[in-house]
Structure 1
Amino acid sequence: MTEGQGHDVLLHFWHEQRDQARQSENQRAAMTNIVLVVAAAAIGFMVRQGITDRANLPVSVALTLLGLYGALASAKYRERFAMHMREATLMRRRLDAFYPALGLEDDRRSARDEHRRTHRLMYRVRLHQLWTSLHLGIALSGAVLTVIIAS
């Protein structure tokens, strides 16, 4: 294998890791959409029946479990995303070492620094924490409804 072919293989594997990371995010989004639809239907059902109706107890418990499942799955998708991005980062650094004139790492650092300066507050907010919090909020809603119904 020639050096150029080796670089092509490395670029292919970098692209594959980026695609896998994107797939993890797409799967997380689809799962979240399903959780939101089911949660909205469950809450709508309970409101229609009357929130304090004891027959809603299994629904409120299921809502709690659904929210907890969503939080766990969201965290797992984040873990997979991070793994693929870590691997892609290592490959990008290797590509940068092969082609230093391109300045891949310098451009990346410069863009990140500018982004951090431009979006000081939002830069600190981690997207995966927002997604997990959404699911935990659903779980909390189910738990509160369970307490209300059981009282």
Structure 2
Amino acid sequence: MADGIDALLELWKDHREADRQTENQRATLTNIIIIVVAAGLGFIAQTGLQTSMLVVTLPMLGFGLYGALACLKFHERSAFHVGQAKGLRRKIASQFPDLSIEAGLTETSRAQRARFPQLRRMRSYLVWVALHCAIAVAGAALSGWIIFS
């Protein structure tokens, strides 16, 4: 029995660690994109919006779109690992009903919903996708300004 629980716990830990790794990858990618875009915007601020700056603004559009797509993919991977971990947690909880694992999580969830009713509905991955879309829109707007001015 202990070997089975140990195996379940190890699988659960593996999925939670994979989920953390996915979030770290998303954070790293977002940070890189923000740094590159900030440097590009600084360069534009120094030189002005000229035709030669399309070499900066068009990649901004691409970085924003790539970042948004990557965030969606990271969310998909995260959802997979969280789902797997949740299933393993339920299996562990069913083997140890006296620990009241699910009841404790339900109560914590209920308190969280009461404390943050609006924010609870907002999905964090959509915040990251929106940030990257804003970068893409800024790149497109600056490119359009350069081309059509």
Query: TM-score, normalised on structure 1?
Result: 0.96
Query: Could you tell me how far apart the structure 2 residues matched to 1:29 and 1:62 are?
Result: 20
Query: Could you tell me how far apart the structure 2 residues matched to 1:150 and 1:44 are?
Result: 20
Query: Could you tell me how far apart the structure 1 residues matched to 2:18 and 2:112 are?
Result: 25
Q: CA deviation at 1:75?
A: 1.0
Letter in 2 for 1:18: R
Query: Could you tell me how far apart the structure 1 residues matched to 2:138 and 2:114 are?
Result: 37
Q: CA deviation at 1:58?
A: 2.2
Identity %: 36
Aligned to 2:140: 143
- Kindly provide the CA deviation profile for residues 87-129 of structure 1, in whole angstroms up to 9, marking residues without a partner as x: 0000000001000110111111110011001101111111000
Aligned to 1:61: 58
Aligned residues: 148
- Kindly provide the CA deviation profile for residues 118-146 of structure 1, in whole angstroms up to 9, marking residues without a partner as x: 10111111100001100000000000001
Segments ≥4 residues shifted beyond 6 Å: none
Query: Could you tell me how far apart the structure 1 residues matched to 2:3 and 2:92 are?
Result: 13
Aligned to 2:111: 114
Matches within 5 A, 1:2-151: 3-51=1-49, 53-151=50-148
Query: Could you tell me how far apart the structure 2 residues matched to 1:71 and 1:137 are?
Result: 9
Letter in 1 for 2:144: V
CA RMSD across the alignment: 0.7
Query: Could you tell me how far apart the structure 2 residues matched to 1:45 and 1:68 are?
Result: 21
Query: Could you tell me how far apart the structure 2 residues matched to 1:44 and 1:54 are?
Result: 16
SS at match of 1:120: coil
Unaligned 5+ runs, structure 2? none
**Once structures 1 and 2 are overlaid, which stretch shifts more, 131-140 or 40-49?**
40-49
Query: Could you tell me how far apart the structure 1 residues matched to 2:92 and 2:78 are?
Result: 21
